[in-house]
Structure 1
Amino acid sequence: MVSFFVCLVLLIVGYFTYGKVVDNTFGPDDRETPAVRINDGVDYVVLPQWKLFLIQLLNIAGLGPIFGAMQGALWGPVVFLWITFGTIFAGGVHDYFSGMMSERENGASVAEITGNYLGNTMKNIMRVFSVVLLIMVGTVFAVGPAGLIVTLFKNAGVSGIFATTLFWLIIILIYYFIATFISIDAVIGKIYPVFGVCLLVMAVGVAFGIVTNPNYVIPEIWDHLYNMHPSGTPIWSFMFITVACGAISGFHSTQSPLMARCMKSEKQGHFVFYGAMVCEGVIALIWAAAGCSIYEVTGGLNTGLSEILADGQSAAIYDVCIKTMGGVGVVLAMLGVIACPITSGDTAFRSARLTLADWLKIDQNSWVNRLKLCIPVLGVGAVLGIGNALGAIDYTVIWRYFSWTNQTLAMIVLWAASMYLFRNKKNYWITAVPATFMTAVSITYFCMAPECLGAFGIGATVAYPAGIIAAILFLGLFLRATKKPAPAANK
């Protein structure tokens, strides 16, 4: 349990120390923000700082730091290290720069920002990448909550249409359409702060339930500094892909522009972007600790955890809430674990609309123009979600492709941030180092994973060197670019 609390303290201290270093490196000032300058009443709306923080937290959280962290616990308490140091030196940096770079460019989507620093080819790649990722996220965060609602109703003895995934999926998709279409402060600005508090209360409740129950012992990192995965899945780089949102996630860069369009001052960035990521890291750490302590660990195998995870994320989260908080856990599971992924799903589809709007240069002040983009974006999500509910599409396949796409996007955004810092004659190593690391993670996984090149029998012997070589190559190309005269900076 000591190592858990050490990691918790490191996350909090990291916000006030390294987070401040990141903030000072960027250099926020008193310039007029897009929310003040444009203020269209739809996407550009000034919101108070506390709302910005809670909305950003819900935008980036969802099921990621909960279910992803529990999956990461299969590797044992070594996952605490990735959550802690990944959040401080990679995730927080990634979220901060994706938000602040967007703010400096009128709230532009991540694809447009990336293109400005990595070229038009990368801009077009990122446009497609972002839209596909956002629709997958929206679909994942519609199917998951629908499944949990069904689990709760069935456990309560309810049957009929209210105990079917398809019914609740349709209800969630209708809400997604409304939240994607109307002004950001009409629904999101009002209900997100409430659910943000629920997410935090649920995490505190789980932590309290673990710490106070003598039957739950959080294992120490130094006693289990080895791979405990029951299937022998290697830590590198599968754990770094699986535990995405709790350490670093490219999805966050697609969400940050939403709040970049609503900030009254640039000086809010440290709290809103870096702070929300640290808070998510804390949530992930708590749920990873739950996975490591509540379930049976025998002979190095997380047998009990792997069994509950096999029943799906809805069953796993419900089980933890019941075991740590009893009846209160059921209520929090309903309010937190249902609402939180839904509140990431709606903003995922909203971000997809804005990304397409930036790409196709379609003004979003007109409700007709918003409708033109909402219908196809939600239509694709509905096909994927309903296909899964009917058994035609495997949800786990969607999640696996999302995981790799997610971390690859994070890698690209960090390289774009490095070029931004170079052009502005600032310390680019704070982004170049995590960019290099994530390049190795992404390429290694792509070579080994069964849904990627691993399907052709490529193993660690090839994948590990390939990841290292790719990381060195990308870093070399970046350093070579820094030797050339920097183009005019977008300050």
Structure 2
Amino acid sequence: MNALVLALIGVAIMLGGYFLYSKYLGSRIYRLNASFRTPAHTLEDGVDYVPTNRYVLWGHHFTSVAGAAPIVGPAIAVIWGWVPAFLWVTIGTVFIAGMHDFGALWASARHRGQSIGTLSGTYIGRNGRNLFLVIIFLLLLMVNAAFAVVIAKLLVSTPTSVIPTWGAVIVALLIGQAIYRLKWNLPLVSLVGVVTLYALMLVGDSLPVTLPETILGLNPNGFWIVVLFLYAGVASLLPVWVLLQPRDYINGLQLFVGLIILYGSVALSLPTLVAPTFNTQLPEGTPSMVPLLFVTIACGAISGFHGLVSSGTSSKQIDKETDERFVGYFGAVGEGLLALGAIIATCAGYQTVTQWREVYSAFGKGGVGAFVEGGSGIIHAGLGLPSSLSATILATMAVLFAATTMDTGVRLQRLVVQEIGGHLGVKLSNITATVTVLVVALALTFSSGGDGSGGLVIWPLFGTTNQLMAALTLCIICIILIRLRRPYRMVLIPMVFVMAVSVWALVIQLGTFYGSGNWMLLTLDVIILVAAVWIIVASVSAMRDAMASPAITDAEFDEATAVTDGVDTHARVQ
């Protein structure tokens, strides 16, 4: 099958979801109100709560939720064939991911920008909230540690990506000043920023940066990991408009241009999908497609991390409630397009199925490396760009996606640590909480040696934990909708499905970890599984209570979730 046909079908399905299904969600389910004063205005502080242009905020949201996961997951999952991966990415994006991200953003903005963890205390109860925070902390720890390792490896394996990666930070700082202090024209600033980033890629392709074998007692991987965490720690303490927003915005534009280059190359080169539609010759040791497909491809179909971003940073920057459809749902569409691009790159970027099988010789093979290798081949064939430059473009895309997610992840984990401290009666400053996050993450990352490979130790639990987080976020949205007597089955059905496959996968992993004698992962798996069952029971009870309690009218909901001129008039909607 020609890859262009698959691309056109996939893009059409996702855009159809945005233009049709998201409008239904916005008007009938979430009932967006343009006159509702968002937390960005009522609680504006110039640091976290900042009213933001919806295009700038979309850039932050899209690049924060995307990361490397929508590349890694699909690039591994195609081992079962490209059809299962394609169906899960497209159907998941339209009916689950978009609804989930949109709903988490709406629910948080309606509750003073509170995180999903805090909302769980309001709608599920204190015990549910505490267990929720444990899962959130572990999920963010997995993301921050693993992404630091992934970025470091790419900077070492593709030294041509070093200059554009760090040059993007300087460009972002300048763009932040141009937009917020100098009030320059946004389209002009955007154009100059994107052109500068791609110019940096040309410079990087000509001037690769290769580190010596030892720097300050660390190998190149370990050195980059330390630098990345120090950078992310500083970035998490700065006001969002200084670095986080402009970096994510300009990266979002640059990355979208990268997707256009990839899809345009597919249209010009017309590559054939050499990977099998359904792979019947699976390598020995490959797990069953069900339920593992649905947790291997998390970001790109449905991801709990998105709910953390929606409720942790994006909800505090929404200018108008009507912007939530564009930021939340279309952000999920952007990630779906990236996941689709990863499927095409890894299934059509090789010349023969034999060559493809050499790459996918075992479960877990592929990943970012296969995306860069396959995608660069397509770009080289379609646009005639040198293979080195093509690889630089895609490697830089992957690094910038992962880096912006890491920026947001460290900030979110700092907020979670402060929230946990608050529940324990300990007030932590931003600096103290950030140092705590960095110490824990670095300790995990270097637990297996100076190369930082320890950051991937608990990564095998990411897919199940991430999907479990998504299901729990859908629980909260569902309870709110039940209280408001609005249609909720389009949330309930995906919630039950994602919850079922997540718990199923956790149980399967228990056997795997026990069989391999991996007691640390086995212990963490048990903790997450017990927390999940506890929260599920609490959520079912909360839903039954919501159905039995008096309905809340839209007017009462508006009043109960209002904050006026910085004065909190919020009433618990229970």
So what's the TM-score if we normalise by structure 2?
A: 0.75
Residue by residue, what CA displacement relative to the aligned partner does 1:324-360 show, whole Å, maximum 9, x if unpaired?
3323323323532112101100101101112233343
Aligned to 1:98: 104
Q: Counterparts of 1:171-210 in structure 2 under 5 Å?
A: 171-210=227-266
Aligned equivalents of 2:253 and 2:352: distance in 1?
32
Aligned to 1:27: 31
Shift of 1:138: 1.1
Aligned equivalents of 2:281 and 2:97: distance in 1?
25
Shift of 1:145: 0.7
The worse-fitting range, judged by mean Cα deviation, of 112-121 and 81-90 is 112-121
Aligned to 2:277: 224
User: Residues 47 and 270 of structure 1: is their aligned pair in 2 closer, same or farther, counting only changes over 3 Å?
Assistant: same
SS at match of 1:244: coil
Residue by residue, what CA displacement relative to the aligned partner does 1:218-243 show, whole Å, maximum 9, x if unpaired?
369xx835666434432211111011
1:239 to 280, 288, 293: 293
1:261 to 316, 319, 337: 316
Aligned equivalents of 1:21 and 1:226: distance in 2?
37
Are residues 1:121 and 2:175 paired? Answer: no
Larger radius of gyration: 2
Shift of 1:207: 2.6
Aligned to 1:316: 370
Aligned equivalents of 1:90 and 1:227: distance in 2?
28
Aligned equivalents of 1:175 and 1:389: distance in 2?
21
Aligned equivalents of 1:424 and 1:352: distance in 2?
31
Are residues 1:9 and 2:12 paired? Answer: yes
Are residues 1:151 and 2:151 paired? Answer: no
Aligned equivalents of 1:48 and 1:203: distance in 2?
23
Are residues 1:43 and 2:99 paired? Answer: no
Q: Counterparts of 1:429-444 in structure 2 under 5 Å?
A: 429-444=489-504
| 1:53 maps to amino acid | W
Aligned equivalents of 1:296 and 1:389: distance in 2?
38
Q: Are the counterparts in 2 of residues 53 and 271 from structure 1 also a CA contact under 8 Å?
A: yes
Q: Are the counterparts in 2 of residues 296 and 303 from structure 1 also a CA contact under 8 Å?
A: no
SS at match of 1:17: helix
Shift of 1:87: 0.8
Shift of 1:144: 0.6
Shift of 1:386: 3.1
Aligned to 1:423: 483
Are residues 1:85 and 2:140 paired? Answer: no
Are residues 1:329 and 2:334 paired? Answer: no
Q: Which runs of 5+ in 2 are unaligned?
A: 162-207, 380-386, 517-528, 562-574
Aligned to 1:52: 57
So what's the TM-score if we normalise by structure 1?
A: 0.87
Residue by residue, what CA displacement relative to the aligned partner does 1:414-464 show, whole Å, maximum 9, x if unpaired?
111110100111111111010010011111101112xx2444579xxxxxx
2:306 to 252, 256, 273: 252
Aligned to 1:462: none
Shift of 1:291: 1.3
Percent of aligned positions that are identical: 25
Q: Are the counterparts in 2 of residues 91 and 248 from structure 1 also a CA contact under 8 Å?
A: yes
Q: Are the counterparts in 2 of residues 33 and 264 from structure 1 also a CA contact under 8 Å?
A: yes
Q: Are the counterparts in 2 of residues 230 and 303 from structure 1 also a CA contact under 8 Å?
A: no
Aligned equivalents of 1:146 and 1:433: distance in 2?
39
User: Residues 404 and 63 of structure 1: is their aligned pair in 2 closer, same or farther, counting only changes over 3 Å?
Assistant: same
Shift of 1:165: 0.6
Shift of 1:384: 2.0
**Aligned residue-pair number:** 471
Aligned to 2:461: 401
Q: Are the counterparts in 2 of residues 296 and 305 from structure 1 also a CA contact under 8 Å?
A: no
Aligned equivalents of 1:229 and 1:4: distance in 2?
25
Aligned to 2:114: 108
Q: Are the counterparts in 1 of residues 59 and 252 from structure 2 also a CA contact under 8 Å?
A: yes
Query: CA RMSD of the aligned region, Å?
Result: 3.1
